[in-house]
Amino acid sequence: MADVYPNESTSNGTAAPGVTTGAIRGSHKVHHHTESGLRVPARRIELSNGEHLDVYDTSGPYTDENAEIDVHAGIPPLRRGWTDGREHRTQLEWARQGVITREMEYIATREDVSAEFVRSEVAAGRAVIPANRRHPETEPMIIGKNFLVKVNANIGNSAVTSSVEEEVEKMVWASRWGADTIMDLSTGSRIHETREAILRNSPVPIGTVPIYQAMEKVGDPAELTWETYRDTVIEQCEQGVDYMTVHAGVLLRYVPMTAQRVTGIVSRGGSIMAAWCLAHHRESFLYEHFSELCEILRSYDVTFSLGDGLRPGSIADANDRAQFAELETLGELTHIAREHGVQVMIEGPGHVPMHKIAENVRREEELCGEAPFYTLGPLATDIAPAYDHITSAIGAAEIGRAGTAMLCYVTPKEHLGLPNRDDVKAGVIAYKIAAHSADLAKGHPRAQERDDALSKARFEFRWNDQFNLSLDPDTARAYHDETLPAEPAKTAHFCSMCGPKFCSMKITQDVRDYANRHGLTSVEAIEAGMREKSEEFTSSGGRVYLPVAE
């Protein structure tokens, strides 16, 4: 990926207040209004032909030229007061009662569907709205297979490296490029402080894996207790975490199933719970106290992300007995959570060869009552460390197409190191590509608009429009500059690949101009017309490789 750094003149914005701000190149923030007047953000890309395209915007106030950003004060609490005077219920409970919440209304406008459709999908458990009532800063979004496929970006410091400011900037940076949710996977010191800073500044839902912090408190998995874990979950609910990964499906009897795997247990949370079960030879306290956990999450409307602690860590272990045994238990827990009125999504693998991907979605939907599936990749092969954003984008596009609702990104540093700023961007862009490819494959009614607008711009040699309509205008422009730096090249009627004489798009322009000149619309008419006027066309044959302008 091209290295890009904060710079006023580009959509990488300015890093003045410690985080990246400023509009993405070629676009600016606009707001659409819902029936009751809620303001829903969108990113408007203005085109040189007077048209414009509004695209889904996850970047929050950071890309709003009119917003004042103060990382210490946090961003405005958009949802404060939305539930005033209302009894505390979860989005699932409201939906079941037939009530359309403001969050649903907001999401309907954001996804361009009816509010009633949003409500019905949430009521059915096919979609979740991760929105802890103590995280009013979040701009409501929905995760479900009948909506746009979403992308999650993981950030988080570790015992080995990184700082609070870095993590907040990673959150801002990841959502700038399109991350729909962020998971804070911090371990090591300052977990609470880091999470607080991220939550107060985050316009997207924040997910966590509470057991990491619980581990920090006790030091060894064998020392973990339900009480420590419970108190950690409450602490995080109070802070405003929107969804939590809980590895309650790792049962004692499943652990031996992993002993003969090529890569055993690769999930951190899964391995911690396995260690606890073995050390005490007792059933998982997460499984045994699951109903209590449901009551805690329900009171904040925190969404469960039931973790796949036994997910395969290699192609060899994909779709094995351990993985699917745990999935059955996740199905059982899904129904318990729903009885408690708690929203649920299910986490999935991991490392899976392409031909075994669809089965994961089929089983998950069957066992977990179509709860939104949220997968890590999967990587379609193990042989390309340093390129796992690509090995996994292949699997992610495939599993998204099969019905996965949210894709957890993988960066080029997966398996090797901690992602830096550029790795985070590379991972997010690769996953926006996978998610959009899946939206197209699923026939999402409006997904193709952006492809068509960009291809039309490309065909008409509107270079700047092509750059601005892309997922990364800066890098697209920078690559074009490498071969044809001059500004006139941005309006040239040929491109650097073939040069002026070989431009394949020109000839079509000419076929089309020819048809227009003679008012020919149907294919047949054009064909007939060309037959008559072939001499005339011959005489204009010399025009074939000259600029249209002439």
Pick from 382, 493, 518, 547: which binds a copy of itself (CB under 8 A)? 382
User: Cα separation of 229 and 241, whole Å?
Assistant: 15
Our finding on whether 240 is near a copy of itself (CB under 8 A) is no
399 to 111, 362, 507: CA distances (angstroms) = 21, 10, 39
Annotated binding-site residue? 27: no
Q: Hey, what amino acid is at 395?
A: G
Is 408 annotated in a binding site? The answer is no
Q: Which residue in the set 97, 165, 534, 548 belongs to the binding site for a copy of itself (CB under 8 A)? A: 534
Residue 183, marked binder: yes
* Residue whose pair of structure tokens reads 């060869």 in the numeric block: 353
Are 228 and 218 in contact, with CB atoms under 8 Å apart? Answer: yes
Is 205 strand, coil or helix?
coil
Position among 14, 418, 493, 547 found at the interface with a copy of itself (CB under 8 A) = 418
Specify the residue, 391 or 404, whose C-beta has the smaller distance to a copy of itself: 391
Cα radius of gyration rounded to whole Å, the chain: 26
Q: Which of residues 173-202 bind a copy of itself (CB under 8 A)?
A: 187-188
Q: Specify the residue, 251 or 297, whose C-beta has the smaller distance to a copy of itself.
A: 251
Q: What are 534's two structure tokens?
A: 């072939």
What contacts 464, CB < 8 A, 6 or more positions away?
Answer: 26, 48, 477, 490
Note whether 240 and 276 are within 8 A (CB).
no
DSSP secondary structure, 260-274, as one string: TSSS----HHHHHHH
* Cβ(168)–Cβ(73) below 8 Å: no
Residue 244: enclosing H or E segment and its boundaries?
A: strand 243-246
- Per rule CB under 8 A, is residue 323 in the interface with a copy of itself? no
Tell me how far, at minimum, the Cβ of 184 lies from a copy of itself, in Å: 15
Told to check if 486 binds a copy of itself by CB under 8 A, we report no
Task: Report angle CA 346, 350, 355 to the nearest 5 degrees.
Answer: 100
Tell whether the torsion through CA atoms of 495, 497, 503 and 508 is positive or negative: negative
Q: How many helices (H) and strands (E) does the chain have?
A: 20, 13
For residue 343, the minimal CB distance to a copy of itself (Å) is 27
Q: In what order do the strands lie in the sheet with 52-56?
A: 27-33, 39-46, 52-56
From the CB of 385, what's the least distance to a copy of itself, in Å?
5
- Binding residues among 488-517 for a copy of itself as defined by CB under 8 A: 495-512, 514-515
Binding mask 50-89 for a copy of itself (x = CB under 8 A): ----------------------------------------
**Tokens standing for residue 476:** 């697209």
- From 6, 18, 353, 369, residue interacting with a copy of itself (rule: CB under 8 A): 353
Nearest CA to 170 out of 63, 19, 57 is that of 19
Residues 263-282 that bind a copy of itself (CB under 8 A): 263-268, 270-272, 274-275, 278-281
Q: How far is the CB of 442 from a copy of itself (least distance, A)?
A: 8
- Using the contact rule CB under 8 A, the part of the chain among 23-31, 123-131, 175-183, 475-483 near a copy of itself is 475-483
CB of residue 223 to a copy of itself, shortest distance in Å: 9
Could you list the residues known to form a binding site for [4Fe-4S] cluster, using ranges: 495, 498, 503
Q: Annotated binding site: which residue ranges?
A: 154, 183, 212, 247, 267-269, 308-311, 347, 351, 374, 415, 495, 498, 503
- Binding region for substrate: 154, 183, 212, 247, 267-269, 308-311, 347, 374
Which residues contribute to the annotated binding site for Zn(2+)?
Answer: 351, 415
